[in-house]
Amino acid sequence: MTVATESNRTVLFLARSQLNQLIRTLADDGYQVVGPTIDQEAIVYGDIASADDLPIGWTDVQEPGKYRLQRRDDEACFGYVVGPHSWKKYLFPPVTLVATADRTGTGWQLSTPETEPPRYAFLGVRACELAAMKIQDKVFLGGPFVDPTYQKRRAAAFVVAVNCTQAAPTCFCTSMNTGPRCSSGFDLALTEVADGFLMEIGSEPGNAVAARLAVMPATSEQLERGNSARQQAVDQISKKLDTTDIRDLLMNNLRHPQWEEVAKRCLSCTNCTMVCPTCFCSSVNEVPDLTGDHVDRERSWDSCFNIDFSYMNGNPTRNSIQSRYRQWMTHKLATWHDQFGSSGCVGCGRCITWCPVGIDLTQEVASIRASQNDSSVGSAVSSSHDEKGNS
Amino acid sequence: MKPAATAHPHNPWLAHAVRIAHTETAAPGVFTCDLVFEDPLTAAEYSFSPGQFNMLYLPGLGEIAISISSDPDQRDSISHTIREAGNVTRALAQLPVGTSLGLRGPFGSSWPTEDCVGRDVVLVAGGIGLAPLRPAVCHLLANRERYGELNLIIGAREPFGLLYPLEYDAWRAHGLNVHVTVDRANSDWHGAIGMVTNVLDRLWLRHAENTLLMTCGPEVMMWYSVQMAISRGLNPKSLYVSLERNMNCAIGLCGHCQFGPQFLCKDGPIFRYDRVASILKVDDL
């Protein structure tokens, strides 16, 4: 039998009945396996003890402001797109203890927790989510200061990616060049076909796990079925975001009337930032015990849509919904390029689906692009990268 | 697939234990607090550049960003001049000498003192904005021979709002021209009345094109000061402003202090004016 390869990568075939073996192998290696499961009528990420916990035979139906589960006419394990959760909840937990203070006889003992991180195996990471992890890597690991919680959890994680075989009307990863194909950033990558999974190996730890599974080199016929399954996702993507000069487009239109227009619909509810796989804003809160002698410093997810997020000297800097929506979108699509060298958007569509009033950022950008009128402000707002080059 | 990390040797969330060595009223509603490190090793290792800030932490109450106002060469304590504005600053103002608290820092960008060498320098301070400029004053005067003409314009609402008034004569004696102006005077006031821009308008400049300006104060004051400086012939690339936004983590991870593309905590608080000029006047940014 000839060994089938794709992009110089050996492709293996894992029979559907062997998926539990993969889950067990990861658990045997000490990983806490987390992946898609159904809870409260949505596909969310949670603990996976066996393949039975997966949303077998279910899919999601999405459109702006709408998410529903629906029965599939097959028994696919990964036959859905993306739900409200993203993997950031494991790497950048919604609540993290960052420091503690304990009263001593003479003052305070100030400490940081030195706990062993959980070792997660992520099962079912989509291409857009791999891109989101790379973006959060730059945020939490790429600057002058590294976030210890994220660093430890990220280093310990094992990633099993799953290629999309279908897309939602809210998906636009092809516009952001993040998918739907998983190309790097995983230990193993699966493509689900009728009787099993094509498996690609992305790392040495991935190879070590694969070596302990009952896998066969994929046949060319299996490879072909994988290709057409993946192509189906590409073909189904209909939404587009024109990213041409998008950084300057938005920064040159900070006074565009569209911000006021979108503010009439936006509820400033923070949903988009909570479901976004790259949004990283947070606040540290003091949590003392009843005696006041022990204080936990807890970091919680925060949002630029919260009015007190920009509170300074007695007043919020961004007092209007208009200014907060502008902050979110210009950060995500424009200034992120200055800060981290890429867009902050991966095109997963979560912010569109989970917006209670169905605001679609791709349409907001299109509206601004269609009626640019603010050149007076912006011509001077050149990229700060350029400016740094001049110094 | 493990991401490469530029590991910082020190957990950035870990605060150093410090103790209040001295505290005094600097102006109505403003106090200066001198802190010393509990650990002599930390004290020996700690150094900062003029314009940088610390996060001061009162367990159970919270943490605040405060510019350092002491001389960077002074090793025995670190001073912060603080306006009572919120819960933490009000509590801090009440704490007696000897009280223990936490400090993380120093953070942020600094005044471009290296770029001042061989040039004339104008400092423009409004109100509490003199506090972050004071370390720059100390540094410039400690190395006075390296610089040309040095001018400091201090503006305050009222005479009793002036910070560090007892130091002005010493600064003058060391070769700094100190100009003081107030918005509203009382009968004891013999100095100038008016805005800092009035003083800047009339300031004698030997070589405007070779003069560097640093300003700290209310945003609107800094805006008009740089406009005046440009009209006086200073290069927009020789003007520096110190900006302020909500700060929470100080390490570029929490998102609070964003101002357009900048994180004030790690890219700022001090910016060359031309890098932020276009967004300075955008409302609610």
ipTM: 0.90
Please name the member of A112, A314, A317 whose beta carbon is closest to the beta carbon of B85: A314
Whole-number mean pLDDT of chain A?
Answer: 93
pLDDT at A6: 53
A1: closest CA of chain B, how far (Å):
30
pLDDT tens readout for residues A79-132: 999 999 999 999 999 999 999 999 999 999 999 998 899 999 999 999 999 999
Cross-strand bridge partners of residue A70: A59
- Residues of chain A neighbouring B8 (CB-CB closer than 8 A): 144-146
- Is B232 in a helix, a strand, or coil? coil
pLDDT tens readout for residues B172-183: 999 999 999 999
- Residues of chain A neighbouring B15 (CB-CB closer than 8 A): 99, 110
The DSSP letter of residue B95 is: P
Contact A107 B19 (CB under 8 A): yes
Domain boundaries defined on chain B: 16-107, 113-242
pLDDT tens readout for residues A204-236: 999 999 999 999 999 999 999 999 999 999 999
pLDDT at B283: 87
Report, as an integer, the average pLDDT of B224-238. 97
pLDDT tens readout for residues A307-363: 999 998 778 999 999 999 999 999 999 999 999 999 999 999 999 999 999 999 999
CATH class of B113-242: alpha beta
A94 φ/ψ angles, rounded to the nearest 5 degrees: -55, -35
Residue B45: pLDDT band by 50, 70, 90 thresholds?
very high
How far is it, in rounded angstroms, from Cα A250 to Cα A258? 11
Report, as an integer, the average pLDDT of A28-48. 98
Q: How many CB atoms lie within 10 A of CB B61?
A: 18
- Is B146 in a helix, a strand, or coil? helix
- Is A260 in a helix, a strand, or coil? helix
Domain boundaries defined on chain A: 5-236, 246-384
Q: b or e along A234-264 (b: 16 or more beta carbons within 10 Å of the residue's beta carbon)?
A: eebbebebebeebbbbbbbbbebebbeebbe
**Long-range contact set of residues B276-279: C-beta below 8 Å, sequence gap at least 24:** B276/B241, B276/B243, B277/A380, B277/B226, B277/B236, B278/A377, B278/A378, B278/A380, B278/A381, B279/A254, B279/A381
pLDDT tens readout for residues B84-105: 998 999 999 999 999 999 999 9
- CATH 3.40.50.300 for domain B16-107: no
> Chain A residue with minimal CA distance to B251?
A145
Distances in whole angstroms, Cα of residue A324 to Cα of each of A38, A149, B94, B191: 33, 28, 36, 44
B249 CB near a chain A CB, below 8 Å?
Answer: yes
pLDDT at B12: 94
Mutate to test the interface with B, among A147, A259, A303 (most CBs of B within 10 A): A147
pLDDT at A315: 86
